[in-house]
A and B are shown apart, each in its own frame.
Chain A
Amino acid sequence: MGIFVDDDTRLVVQGITGREGRFHAGRMREYGTNVVAGVTPGRGGVDVDGVPVFDTVSEAVRQTGANASCIFVPASAAADAATEALAAGIETVVCITEGIPTLDVMNLLDTAKARGWRGRVIGPNCPGLVTCGKALVGIMPGRIFTPGPVGLVSRSGTLTYEVVNLLTSRGIGQSTCVGVGGDPIIGTNFVGCLAEFERDSDTRAVVLIGEIGGQDEEDAAAFIRDNMTRPVIAFVSGRTAPPGKRMGHAGAIVSGNMGTAESKVKAFREAGVPVADSIAEIADLVAKALG
C-alpha cells in the first residue's frame, strides 16, 4: 500500500536522454522502481542504460503498460509534457521541473479537468515521492527512508529529507513521503495527500511540513478537523520571514495578511493538530501520536 505509487507502478521517464533524466532514472531503478520506458521526442528507438526510449508517451504506454510518469523536461516544455502524459492516460504524473510559468500550470490543470482526464499531477517544482521499500519517483535520496507507519507530506525538498532522516534515526519508519512542490499552483496539495493517507492501511500517522505563502495549510487544517481520524503533526517553516519577500520558492511569500506562519499555526492548533516548534520536536510528537 502507501499512496500514489507502489509495487504496481510502471514508470516512464520523460526527458530520459537528458543529463538529469538519465541520472535519476538510474537512481530510481537502484531503489527498486520499475522504470519501464523513457520518452524523448525524436529519440524513439534508442535505449538509455537498457530502458527503451519512445517518441511519445502514448507509444510508451501501448508498448510497456506504463502507468506513472516522472518529468525532467526543461521549464519551457514541461507543462506540455505533463499534458501529453495525462492525455495518454497516465495515472500519476510527477513533475520535477522547476521554473514553469504559473499560467502554463494553470492551463495544464484546467485542460485536464475540462477533458475529464483522470490522472493526477504531483508538482511541479517538487522532489517527487517515495513509497518506502517499493517505489521512488523523483529525486529524493533513497538511502534515508525506511518502511514504517508514518506518512509525510511537504512543500519543500531538503526539509523533507531532514525530517525523514530524523524519523529514521529515531526508529520511526515511513509509509509514503510526498513533496508536493514549492510553486504557487500545484497539481496535488496537502488536502489531496491527506485524503489518500486517511484511506491508506499502511499509514497510522501523518507529518505535514508547511511553509509561509498561500492558504494550503489553513485548508489542510480544516480538512483534518472535519475528515481525519489518523493523527497529524504539523510544522511550519518561515515563521521569521518578512512580508513581501519571496523566500526562494515562488509560493513562499507573505503578501499583506495572506500566508503568514501565525495564521497557519493558529489554524492547525484550532483544528487540534499539534504543531512542532522545532524540527527535533516533530519526532517527539510523532512518537507520542503512535503511542
Chain B
Amino acid sequence: MKLHEYQAKETMRRYGIRTPRGEVACTADEAGEIATRLGCRVAVKAQVHVGGRGKAGGIAIAATPAEARVAASRILGMSIKGLTVTRVLVEEAVKAAREYYAGMTVDRARRSIVVMASNEGGVDIEEVAAWSPEKIVQVWVSPREGLEPWQARSLALAAGFDRRAVSGAGTYLASLFRLFVREDASLAEINPLMLSEDGAVIAADAKITIDDNAIMRHPEYRALSDEDSDDELEREAHRRGLTYVKLDGDIGVIGNGAGLVMATLDAISSQGGRAANFLDIGGGARADVVRNALELILMDSRVKAILINVFGGITRCDEVASGLLTAAESVGVRVPMVVRLAGTREEEGRALLRKTSVVAAEGMADAARQAVALASGGVK
C-alpha cells in the first residue's frame, strides 16, 4: 500500500530524517490555522496517490495564512486524474539551492534492494532513467548487510552531490535504508532531497510504499489501508476480501487464478470488447466465494454482461457448475451470463449449465466472443 506524503514524512521523521515542518488539513480553515502556527511562507499540497499533482494544480505556495486558506479551499475537492482531494499537507516552503534524488526499491532480477542517487532531483526519476541513465548512481545492498552512512556518502559523491550536502545525504540514505527494512517497504523515495539556501539537507517530498504481504506485522498501517483506493467498488471488494481491479469496460469478469483472469481480459479485448474489471476468486471456485464475487460485479452499473471463466482443477467442473448456478440464483443476476468451464469432467459441467439461462461457452475465445456480443446487445 502507498502512504500519503504526510504519512511518509511522519515515518521518515521517526528515523531522524528532516522534513519541512507541517501538518495535514481537511478543511480550508484548518489549513489557515496551520499556516498561522507555522508563521512562514507555506506550501499547500494535495494528498493523492498520483504523480504529476504539481502540474495538475494540486500544489500552491502561500505567503500568508489567508492565502493558504484560499489555496486549500481551491485544492480540497478538486479531482486529480480521477481522484478527489480530501486532504492537504500545509508545510513550510523551503527555498532550494539544489535538488537531488535519493531512493530505494526491490530489484526483482537481482533479488536485492537497489539504492539510487542522482543530482537530477525533483523530476520523475523514471524519465531520468529512460533519457540519461548515467545520471543515476546505483548500488545493490542486501537487508542482511545493511547500508552504512560512509557507503551512502560515497554514493552521494559519485552522483555529484554538492559537498555541503554529502554528509547529510549519507546519513539520510542510511536512515532510509533502515526504514525500508524495518517497515517492510517496497519503495522509499525522497524526491527532491533538498539542499536549502542555508545549507540544510531536507526531504522536501516523500514516497513510501509498504509491502502488502508484510502489513500483518505492521498493524499501524492496517488502519490506513482502507483509504488506499478512492474507488467505491475497489473499497467494497477490499471489504469483501476479493482481489479486484476496476477497469473501464462493460463486461464483468470473474475467474480463478490471476494468470487465467488476465488471459481472459486479453481474450475479451481481442474480440473487440472491454472488461469492466479484473476479479480473481483464487483456486477452488467455492459457491460462497462466487456469490460474493457476483454480488460485487452486479453493484457495477456499467456491467452489461458477465463472463465467468473457471478452471476446475482439484474441484471437478460439474461441482463448480452446480456451485455457480446456486450462487447465481441466490444473487439474482440481471444481465446475461456466459460461463466457461475447463478441466476434469468439463462436459458434465457444461451439460448442467445448458439446462439454464446461462450461456455455456466451449472455450476461452468462444466465451469472450459471446460475452462481447451480449454486452453490445447482440444475440448469442
Binding site for B on A (CB under 8 A): 27, 75-76, 99-104, 106-107, 109-111, 114, 139-141, 143-144, 154-162, 165, 182, 184-185, 209, 211-212, 214-216, 219, 237-242, 245-252, 256-257, 277-280
- CB of A223, distance to nearest CB on chain B (Å): 12
Bound-state Cα–Cα, A219 to B270, Å: 27
Q: What sequence of 0s and 1s flags, for each residue 249-275 of chain B, a beta carbon within 8 Å of any chain A beta carbon?
A: 000000111111111011111100001
In the complex, the 3 A-B pairs of residues with the closest C-beta atoms, listed nearest first: A156-B259, A248-B258, A158-B257
Bound-state Cα–Cα, A99 to B211, Å: 10
Are B109 and A103 neighbours in the complex by a CB distance under 8 Å?
Answer: no
Are B211 and A102 neighbours in the complex by a CB distance under 8 Å?
Answer: yes
Q: Closest chain B residue to A213 by CB distance?
A: B108
Bound-state Cα–Cα, A28 to B280, Å: 26
- CB of B347, distance to nearest CB on chain A (Å): 12
Bound-state Cα–Cα, A184 to B114, Å: 14
- B108, B259, B275: the one within 8 Å of A159 (CB): B259
Binding site for A on B (CB under 8 A): 106, 108-109, 111-113, 126, 130, 142-144, 181, 184, 186, 211-214, 216-217, 243, 245, 247, 255-263, 265-270, 275, 278, 280, 283, 311, 313-314, 342-344, 363-365
Q: What are 14 A-B residue pairs whose CB atoms fall within 8 Å in the complex?
A: A103-B143, A103-B211, A104-B214, A106-B112, A110-B143, A114-B144, A158-B259, A161-B343, A184-B186, A214-B109, A215-B109, A216-B109, A247-B278, A250-B212
A75 partner residues in chain B, CB cutoff 8 A? 213, 216
Bound-state Cα–Cα, A251 to B217, Å: 21
- A141, A156, A185, A257: the one within 8 Å of B111 (CB): A185
B364 partner residues in chain A, CB cutoff 8 A? 162, 278-280
A106 partner residues in chain B, CB cutoff 8 A? 106, 111-113, 142-143
B343 partner residues in chain A, CB cutoff 8 A? 141, 144, 161, 165
Bound-state Cα–Cα, A277 to B269, Å: 12
Contact A238 B342, CB 8 Å, known A185-B111, A257-B126, A277-B270: no
Contact A161 B311, CB 8 Å, known A143-B344, A249-B258, A279-B263: yes
B211 partner residues in chain A, CB cutoff 8 A? 101-103
Bound-state Cα–Cα, A215 to B107, Å: 10
Bound-state Cα–Cα, A251 to B142, Å: 20
B258 partner residues in chain A, CB cutoff 8 A? 156, 182, 211, 247-249, 252
Are B261 and A101 neighbours in the complex by a CB distance under 8 Å?
Answer: no
Contact A165 B184, CB 8 Å, known A141-B344, A182-B258: no
B363 partner residues in chain A, CB cutoff 8 A? 280
Are B342 and A162 neighbours in the complex by a CB distance under 8 Å?
Answer: yes
A143 partner residues in chain B, CB cutoff 8 A? 344
B262 partner residues in chain A, CB cutoff 8 A? 159, 211-212, 237-238, 241, 247-248, 252
Q: Closest chain B residue to A162 by CB distance?
A: B311
A240 partner residues in chain B, CB cutoff 8 A? 265-266, 268-269, 275
Are B109 and A237 neighbours in the complex by a CB distance under 8 Å?
Answer: no
Bound-state Cα–Cα, A252 to B108, Å: 12
Q: Closest chain A residue to B145 by CB distance?
A: A110
- A245, A278, A280: the one within 8 Å of B245 (CB): A245
Are A185 and B213 neighbours in the complex by a CB distance under 8 Å?
Answer: no
Are B259 and A154 neighbours in the complex by a CB distance under 8 Å?
Answer: yes
Bound-state Cα–Cα, A159 to B264, Å: 10
Task: Point out which of B130, B143, B243, B260 has the most chain A C-beta atoms below 10 A from its C-beta.
Answer: B260
- CB of B258, distance to nearest CB on chain A (Å): 3
Bound-state Cα–Cα, A144 to B259, Å: 18
Bound-state Cα–Cα, A76 to B111, Å: 20
Contact A107 B259, CB 8 Å, known A277-B270, A280-B365: no
B108 partner residues in chain A, CB cutoff 8 A? 184-185, 214-216, 251
- CB of B84, distance to nearest CB on chain A (Å): 18
Q: Closest chain B residue to A241 by CB distance?
A: B262
A157 partner residues in chain B, CB cutoff 8 A? 257, 259, 283, 313
Bound-state Cα–Cα, A213 to B206, Å: 24
Bound-state Cα–Cα, A185 to B311, Å: 26
- CB of A155, distance to nearest CB on chain B (Å): 7
- CB of B274, distance to nearest CB on chain A (Å): 8
Bound-state Cα–Cα, A256 to B52, Å: 13
Are B143 and A107 neighbours in the complex by a CB distance under 8 Å?
Answer: yes
- A27, A212, A248: the one within 8 Å of B261 (CB): A248
Q: Closest chain B residue to A239 by CB distance?
A: B266
Bound-state Cα–Cα, A139 to B217, Å: 27
Are B256 and A158 neighbours in the complex by a CB distance under 8 Å?
Answer: yes
Bound-state Cα–Cα, A29 to B61, Å: 68
- CB of B264, distance to nearest CB on chain A (Å): 9
Are B109 and A158 neighbours in the complex by a CB distance under 8 Å?
Answer: no
Are A159 and B263 neighbours in the complex by a CB distance under 8 Å?
Answer: yes
A104 partner residues in chain B, CB cutoff 8 A? 214
Bound-state Cα–Cα, A172 to B125, Å: 47
B267 partner residues in chain A, CB cutoff 8 A? 278-279
Q: Closest chain A residue to B313 by CB distance?
A: A141
Q: Closest chain A residue to B314 by CB distance?
A: A141
Are B259 and A76 neighbours in the complex by a CB distance under 8 Å?
Answer: no
Bound-state Cα–Cα, A161 to B267, Å: 17
Are A241 and B313 neighbours in the complex by a CB distance under 8 Å?
Answer: no
Are B245 and A250 neighbours in the complex by a CB distance under 8 Å?
Answer: no
- CB of B32, distance to nearest CB on chain A (Å): 34
Bound-state Cα–Cα, A277 to B261, Å: 16
A141 partner residues in chain B, CB cutoff 8 A? 313-314, 343-344
Contact A238 B143, CB 8 Å, known A101-B184, A141-B344: no
Task: Point out which of B142, B216, B259 has the most chain A C-beta atoms below 10 A from its C-beta.
Answer: B259
Q: Closest chain B residue to A249 by CB distance?
A: B258
Are B263 and A102 neighbours in the complex by a CB distance under 8 Å?
Answer: no
Are B313 and A111 neighbours in the complex by a CB distance under 8 Å?
Answer: no
